[in-house]
Structure 1
């Protein structure tokens, strides 16, 4: 694609290439550079309502760096390079997302039509479904990326960095009591795949069904049916809840024949699913809620730690002393599952609490809740879908980290809402 919209096309259409290179979620950081240059040359720059909240969040992140050396009670760890790198990476991502939103909002409808942006998100949905099927059929698939080859070993071997730069098809976890592969390609981990596929599904339906030709609609039905396979095999309860609430939201907000059609489609889909071989796997997952104890421990420990720096937080995550099974830390012969869970790792809300305190968490919530309030009366397909995605953001903040790719899709959805009245 030529013209000023090329960085967005490079991000969405070219994402599989970024993933294979080892950039993946960090591709938005790379592309923020040309977006920022082009944006600067196009001054004056339009900004959306509520944008000051994100600027305050970034300012709060800068101030929170003063607490990087501090250790709240119930945590441990040394002030090492990794803590500074995590802090810097998060700051860089927040700034890149800010640039991307401004860039999208300042492109005219002629330069980047809304429908073209929807279709590009639809292509990324197809990529995500393909990656999910790869995770189901070939869960052991992985390879060394070029970025991984050139990074120094001390950095490339870091577990967080590995998730970002080492392409893998699935993440294997003992969710059902045995090793279960959960699709994650082409994103950084399984929960990111779950969050992203639900957001992309919303825009795929708008771009390929609501505004689609008969041929696109037929293709959309096939692709959504295929997507059900990795969605179930992801064993992702948060994703399932999000999709269920999305259907309920649409039934309530649409009217007339659309509501009747949606109810009929939902009932038919539920019946077909209940009779399919996928249904027992869902039941088995719901009967294995072992992760609830882990989440309860880390969330309570995160809130407790945040009370010791409620305004600015601690700049980055900390490791908890012990875990939900023992007060000791680290794996042992009698407790191979013991370890030191990072605080803030079970949802963006909890991450905001430990890194930027209650003030930062409030700014994050206010930014997306404000978008819902401002656009609630927009009953166009894009308006309804955008408000739905903003609502999913507020749901997912309790269970999913926004880093790294989910936040990018949240902000593209925010930009679609902002652009829509024009």
Structure 2
């Protein structure tokens, strides 16, 4: 591999083309073909499958160009490999023994981290002729169309689900694991008691409802850039229709993190956009939407902050456990004794919500603390913060969009797990930013 301090120079002659070459098929298969992967039962794990052909292409293209900043991510992956030494350990305040579930979870994360490295290197080493920037951005926009369709499915048919081919093939001891089942069993929505009563929250085509929320906001950014900023009249009309339709599952998702992320995106747009009139129209449109019946749903969600106590318990327990292995963590999550209501460790007749909250389940930052210690969390923050610093002066639409996604990655790490699809979208956005800087400064 060859580390570089300046992005590659894309061929100027191919800059006007928006049609990807044949070598870009794994990227198109991942983003445009995502609904097929979801139906098969792979979902976000599709990147692991597609990393194989991407890795073969990179092997033939040696030496491989490594984007500046990827060194931090490589250190993060190396640190996770080292954390395997602590898989059998049990930090104070937790319980559980080393078993197949813990080992399988660790290996899945390790394979995913390595696959994401391959994905970024693959995108970085494709020329503009092989994969034009606008084509890549529009592929992200195509995944947003899938996200909106899945969100509407979750609102209109929340009980929709089916057994995937992967689920049929796997043995029961694997497919029956709650975490694995959530990944391989396609469902339209999660039914949760966020408002004090059972309410469906859209999750298709991603792993869970929170993943749908975070991914929706990231993909919305790229959809607007590809279909509005760089789109013709027809694409712009479609953009308006799709964004209006997306408002329904966005509200019904009851996802406060998503709402905060969209608010941050609006502020970013108003501060940095040169189209001041268009920027000012965004909050006006939001106010008009909330003035209707959807506004009452938002108000109910804000009045039902019951999850705050759960998060406070798991976060404090995670930090306390991580303090006993601050450098390399424990390799995987752990179960805490009790919960915020009781010191008991299971459901009772008087406490149906008592259970075993997995530490690190309330956000990527907390997951890194328990799995890789404070070192892993610092490397993660340094990677995204360094990307923002490096590309903050890129005033192009793609540059501003990519920087905004990096900001959201740091915001969401407090409330959303990055695994599995979220990290994929973050790192694709990083690659888009890096490629964009290369196209501007040959």
Structure 2-normalised TM-score?
A: 0.94
2:420 paired residue number: 404
Q: 1:89 corresponds to which residue?
A: 108
Root-mean-square deviation over aligned CA pairs: 0.8
Partners of 1:281 and 1:275 in 2: CA distance: 11
Q: Distance in 2 between matches of 1:266 and 1:205?
A: 13
Residue 260 of structure 1: how far off its partner (Å): 2.3
CA distance in 2 between counterparts of 1:32 and 1:271 reads 43
Q: Partners of 1:154 and 1:280 in 2: how far apart? A: 43
Which of these residues, 403, 407, 422, is aligned with residue 391 of structure 1? 407
Structure 2 equivalent of residue 116 of structure 1? 135
Alignment match, 1:242: 261
- The offset of 1:276, in angstroms, is 1.6
Residue among 195, 203, 209 paired with 2:228: 209
Provide the rounded CA distance (Å) in 2 between the counterparts of 1:303 and 1:99: 31
For 1:138 and 1:207, locate their aligned partners in 2 and report how far apart those are by CA, in whole Å: 30
1:223 counterpart residue number: 242
- Distance in 1 of aligned mates of 2:357 and 2:291: 39
Q: 2:374 aligns with which of 337, 358, 375?
A: 358
Give the counterpart of 1:415 among 428, 431, 441.
431
1:13-162 equivalences in 2 (<5 Å): 13-162=32-181
1:314-338 per-residue CA deviation (whole Å, 9 max, x = no partner) reads: 0000000110000110111111111
**CA–CA distance in structure 2, aligned partners of residues 276 and 118 of structure 1:** 33
How far apart, CA to CA, are the structure 1 residues paired with 2:146 and 2:320? 40
SS in 2 for 1:276: coil
Q: For residues 371-382 of structure 1, what are the structure 2 equivalents within 5 Å?
A: 371-382=387-398
Residue 270 of structure 1 deviates from its aligned partner by 2.4
TM-aligned CA deviation for residue 262 of structure 1 = 1.1
Q: Paired residue for 1:261? A: 278
In 2, Cα distance between equivalents of 1:4 and 1:215: 29
How far apart, CA to CA, are the structure 2 residues paired with 1:335 and 1:308? 30
User: Which shifted more, 1-10 or 341-350?
Assistant: 1-10
In structure 2, what is the Cα distance between the partners aligned to 1:396 and 1:57? 18
Where 2:65 maps in the other structure, the secondary structure is coil
Deviations 1:126-149 (A, max 9, x none): 010000000000000000000000
1:200 to 219, 224, 227: 219
2 CA distance for matches of 1:2 and 1:205?
24
1:44: Cα distance to partner? Answer: 1.3
Tell me how far 1:97 sits from its aligned partner: 0.2
Counterpart of 2:190 in 1: which secondary structure?
A: strand
CA shift at 1:259, angstroms? 1.6
Q: Does 1:344 align with 2:360?
A: yes
Partner of 2:287: 271
Counterpart-to-counterpart distance in 1, 2:338 and 2:284 = 47
Q: CA separation in 1, counterparts of 2:252 and 2:297?
A: 8
Pick one of 338, 350, 355 that aligns with 1:322: 338
- The aligned length equals 419
Structure 2 Cα separation of the partners of residues 409 and 270 of structure 1: 25
Structure 1 match to 2:301: 285
* Superposed displacement of residue 43, structure 1: 1.1
1:177 corresponds, among 177, 196, 202, to 196
Q: Secondary structure at the match of 1:171?
A: strand
Secondary structure at the aligned position of 1:383 is classed as helix
Question: Given the alignment of the two structures, is residue 251 of structure 1 paired with residue 270 of structure 2, yes or no?
Answer: yes
**2:385 equivalent in structure 1:** 369
2-structure distance, mates of 1:67, 1:155: 23
Hey, which bits of structure 1, 4+ residues long, moved more than 4 A? Answer: none
Distance 1:381 1:119 in 2: 13
Contact 2:21-2:129 at 8 Å conserved across structures: no
Instruction: Work out which of the residue numbers 248, 252, 257 in structure 2 matches 1:233.
Output: 252
The separation in 2 between residues aligned to 1:84 and 1:349, in whole angstroms, is: 21
Give the unaligned 5+ runs of structure 1: none
Tell me the distance in 2 between the aligned counterparts of 1:80 and 1:331.
23
Alpha-carbon distance between aligned partners in 1 of 2:416 and 2:284, rounded to the nearest angstrom: 30
Deviation of residue 2 (structure 1)? Answer: 5.6
Instruction: Pick the aligned partner of 2:327 from 307, 311, 325.
Output: 311
